[in-house]
A and B are shown apart, each in its own frame.
Chain A
Amino acid sequence: MYYVIIVNTIYFGIMLFSLKSVFSIVRRKRYALSGSLVGSEHVPPVSLLVPSYNEELTIIENVRSLMTLNYPTYEVIVINDGSTDETMKVLIDEFELFHMDNLAVRYSVNCTKIKAIYHNPEYPHLYVIDKLNGGKADSLNAGINFSHYPLISSIDADSLLEKDSLIQMANMYMSNPEEYVAIGGNVRIANGCTIENGTVKEVRLPKKWWPMFQTCEYLKAFLGGRIGWSAINGLIIVSGAFGLFRKDYIIKVGGYRGGYPGEDMNIIIKLHRYMLENKLPYRIAFCPEAVCWTQAPDTYHILSNQRKRWGRGNLKNMIENYDMTFRPKYKVFGMLSLPYTIIFEALNPYFKITGLLSLIGYALYDMTSWNIVGVFLTINFLSGLLLAIGSLLIEEIAFKRYPRVSDMFRMLAFSVLMFFGYRQLGSLWRIQGHIQYFQKNNSWGAMTRQSWKEKSEQVKSA
């Protein structure tokens, strides 16, 4: 019972922090970004790392889109992680890449050996690394080893960046280059949007149910949650789909950890630990105006696999780092973020089940208090809904990405529907993920992709 009270207090607290900082975000978005930044020599160069495994359908479109960002100096490094399909071949054909020996690659963080580098001087900022399969973290490490610039940004091969998103992040970074060690981007669901020339032309909500639920979920997590966590410097994860990092610190903490999913959370925890243990001033921030569009899984099977994977990675990270909890040395992160994540996210499903069971148990002993169960569930439902509305408000104040009124009604409706089925499924998947962890099942699970092109054609014909 107290559990519910605490969890809701934290939620509301974070939401309030989010709401408080949303106005400064609006201002930053409107006034702080100068157009001249896009061509300035003073903007630090960035290496974009794009790990890709079996992405032959989407990779060309994505790389093209990544090469047209509004940014003065950057390079795109695609890491082919031993794909078993034609990923490498389509890249070579499309960009007429040449094989380079590159004998002199550093190995500053561990990764499996790089087989070869491909490059074409006509695309001076594109490199493709071919290596043996070693997982996503390993690919990122390979990219770090090869990269030429002081900042790195990891991007999923199934995501599209908005043209301005990188410069938005850099703008944030430049306002305090000594303290920012990592900046996360805002991930949005692209299902339903019209995509042309590698950019999102028209923003629409997804038509299918699964992606629609995820849209609401992401909106709530990113806008309602992460803005607030970022305001108190307690961010525990920077989405693997789009984040900007200082390379020197990533190397200092030993790069990404392979073997388990959840490497994006892991690297942030390691950064927190490193900076706090060495008593360095630092900030890990969320930059909601830097938007990355991603394709959400639209079938039950793929979605459940993804969530199980997340549950597994989350549990692994928590088990590895529980020593940081409630130690004043680790400040907000150790006192609040980590305990919150362990108790209210990792263990959330168990509490929910036991809470519900005990409640029903009480009610069975004393038939009169069925209404208590009702009251209790209503509170749970309403407070959740309130949070959803809060995040919709933030979206409306700051971003206004969905132009139509009907979009808003749909989002409201799905925020309500989420409580009947979808969230319970979420808990179930998490538990399954935990079971997998203890069974040492460590596969990545199925993740099929559709080509962006087909996607937009489908939308057009629909």
Chain B
Amino acid sequence: MFSNLDLAVAFIYVCLGLIGFGVLILLTMKARSIMLERKRSALLEKHQPYFVYLQRHIVDPDPFQPPKGPLSPLETRVIQDKLMEWIEKFRGAQRQKLTALCEDMDLVQLDRKQLSSMFYAKQMKAAYRLGGMRSAQAVEPLIELMKQEKDGPLLHVLARSVAKCAEHLDQLYVMLQQLTRHRKGNYLNAAEVLEETSLDVTPLLLQCMEDRDHNLVKTALLALRGQTGVTLTPALLRLADSDDKEIRSLAVKMLVRAGNILPEETICSWLTDPEGEIRAAVAESLGQFGYEGSIPALKQALTDSDWWVRYHSAKSLAMMGDAGFRTLCEAALERDDPFKSDMAKDRIHEELLREHFFANRRKQISGAHTKQSLYEQYFGQASSVPNIRGIGGDYSA
């Protein structure tokens, strides 16, 4: 092996060369980034009066005037970054006014050209910026590129940008199709991306719920969160019988939460679903809707074998006013199932603690019982005393 000595010496030289080269690159990079940072802050300061002008007149009816005079590329970028920052912060007319300024300054045009660049990095940058400016002019090229692109970070950036820029729902639909085309399980991301749009997406989601693609259905269901409306009920009821566990759970959640008055047997049948996840979802949503008719079913669910179902049932019961809390107290006193009474006791404890803390801050509905007084009806006065054991002294920071 020592015959390779020459090779070894050569290797030493290569190493030395590479090391020198690396150090050189390191130094130049450091110097460049420091220079750039300095220039940037100088430019920011130079244009500060212009930025003040933009902020001061953001609600005035007339469009903004672009900055005068020739701008260096770096200057343009600095202003663009600032504009994009504001576009993210504002809504409605103010946002549009800033977008219009970006269009007037030809920034959109510039990045549209970059979008067809050969370099992945430049494409990505352009896609990101086009989204940041939210200009409707950018939607078509973005969608075109999405259709060609393989799965990867660029695709996600493109999707987000399309969501930000889109003017019509069908553009969003194409975007969703492209995004979920490559991989199952992209729905979480898709739903989150949909949040970026400034359009009302409900009709689109209804359309997606009819879709055969499970991914789109899941996306739609996830994105529906927070929207309630009885118009969705028929579509949701159909999905509640789906074979896909996740779809079923999401649909059921939506149904319960949307405030549909559902027949008791339907709720009971969901609460006996073989999937614990779904039972838990039902139990959780019942509390958010707060329909008192479901109290018996929830009490039954306190004996469920799944911890999560018991947990959410107790939580939901606590959210259902006096009747719910009474039921919790009863459950805590019953001795047939230790799991049930333990869970109920935990919840009662937590609720009392919370009430103790926030009672004086919340506006009390007159006539309503406090949970404390209800608790005392069941457990007697004495037992309530040791329950809230304050630790720590006066805290008036």
Binding site for B on A (CB under 8 A): 1, 23-24, 27-28, 30-32, 34-37, 40-44, 92-93, 96-104, 106, 119-122, 148, 174-179, 369, 372, 375-376, 378-379, 382-383, 385-386, 389-390, 392-393, 396-397, 400, 403, 405, 408, 412
The answer on a CB contact under 8 Å between B2 and A369 is yes
Cβ-based interface call for B291 (8 A): no
Q: With A98-B391, A369-B2 in contact, is A28–B345 under 8 Å at CB?
A: no
The answer on a CB contact under 8 Å between B353 and A98 is yes
The answer on a CB contact under 8 Å between A176 and B5 is no
Cβ-based interface call for B53 (8 A): no
CB-CB < 8 A to B30: which residues of A?
Answer: 396, 405, 408
Can you report 20 residue pairs joining A to B where beta carbons are below 8 Å apart? A30-B128, A42-B191, A42-B192, A44-B188, A98-B353, A100-B346, A100-B349, A103-B342, A104-B343, A104-B346, A121-B353, A121-B354, A379-B11, A382-B15, A382-B19, A383-B15, A389-B23, A393-B25, A396-B30, A412-B23
The answer on a CB contact under 8 Å between B124 and A31 is yes
Q: With A42-B195, A372-B2, A375-B9 in contact, is A396–B188 under 8 Å at CB?
A: no
Q: With A35-B88, A119-B350, A176-B183 in contact, is A92–B391 under 8 Å at CB?
A: yes
CB-CB < 8 A to A403: which residues of B?
Answer: 34
* Known pairs A32-B157, A93-B392, A119-B353 / 10 extra A-B pairs, C-beta < 8 Å: A31-B153, A97-B391, A103-B343, A104-B345, A375-B5, A375-B9, A375-B12, A385-B19, A386-B15, A412-B23
CB-CB < 8 A to A176: which residues of B?
Answer: 183, 185-186
The answer on a CB contact under 8 Å between A32 and B153 is yes
The answer on a CB contact under 8 Å between B389 and A174 is no
CB-CB < 8 A to A408: which residues of B?
Answer: 26-27, 30
Q: With A178-B185, A382-B16 in contact, is A376–B8 under 8 Å at CB?
A: yes
Query: Which B307-350 residues have C-beta < 8 A from chain A?
Result: 307, 310-311, 339, 342-343, 345-346, 349-350
> Distance in Å from the Cβ of B216 to the closest Cβ of chain A?
16
> Distance in Å from the Cβ of A2 to the closest Cβ of chain B?
8
CB-CB < 8 A to B357: which residues of A?
Answer: 120-122
> Distance in Å from the Cβ of B384 to the closest Cβ of chain A?
14
> Distance in Å from the Cβ of B214 to the closest Cβ of chain A?
13
Nearest B residue to A103, CB-CB: B342
The answer on a CB contact under 8 Å between B22 and A389 is yes
Nearest A residue to B388, CB-CB: A98
Nearest B residue to A383, CB-CB: B15
Nearest A residue to B307, CB-CB: A106
| Count: A-B pairs, CB below 8 Å | 150
CB-CB < 8 A to A97: which residues of B?
Answer: 391-392
The 6 closest A-B pairs by CB, nearest first: A103-B342, A178-B185, A382-B15, A389-B22, A42-B192, A31-B128
CB-CB < 8 A to B42: which residues of A?
Answer: none
CB-CB < 8 A to A96: which residues of B?
Answer: 390-392, 395
Q: Give Cα A103–Cα B339 distance, bound, in whole angstroms.
A: 9
Q: Give Cα A230–Cα B88 distance, bound, in whole angstroms.
A: 33
Nearest B residue to A102, CB-CB: B346
Nearest B residue to A375, CB-CB: B8
CB-CB < 8 A to B153: which residues of A?
Answer: 24, 27-28, 31-32, 175
The answer on a CB contact under 8 Å between A42 and B222 is yes
Q: Give Cα A273–Cα B307 distance, bound, in whole angstroms.
A: 28
Nearest A residue to B157, CB-CB: A31
Q: Give Cα A385–Cα B339 distance, bound, in whole angstroms.
A: 61
Q: With A121-B353, A176-B183, A372-B5 in contact, is A101–B346 under 8 Å at CB?
A: yes
Q: Give Cα A174–Cα B156 distance, bound, in whole angstroms.
A: 11
Q: Give Cα A145–Cα B293 distance, bound, in whole angstroms.
A: 33
Cβ-based interface call for B121 (8 A): yes
B358 interface neighbour in A40, A102, A121, A375, Cβ under 8 Å: A121
Q: Mark B74-118, 1 if CB is under 8 A from A, else 0.
A: 000000000000001000000000000000000000000000000
Q: With A393-B26, A400-B33 in contact, is A100–B192 under 8 Å at CB?
A: no
Q: Give Cα A405–Cα B11 distance, bound, in whole angstroms.
A: 30
CB-CB < 8 A to B125: which residues of A?
Answer: 30-31
The answer on a CB contact under 8 Å between B346 and A41 is no
CB-CB < 8 A to B26: which residues of A?
Answer: 389, 392-393, 396, 408, 412
Q: Give Cα A152–Cα B188 distance, bound, in whole angstroms.
A: 18
Cβ-based interface call for B29 (8 A): yes
The answer on a CB contact under 8 Å between A23 and B121 is yes
The answer on a CB contact under 8 Å between A379 and B12 is yes
> Distance in Å from the Cβ of B251 to the closest Cβ of chain A?
17
Q: Give Cα A24–Cα B155 distance, bound, in whole angstroms.
A: 13
CB-CB < 8 A to A40: which residues of B?
Answer: 192, 195
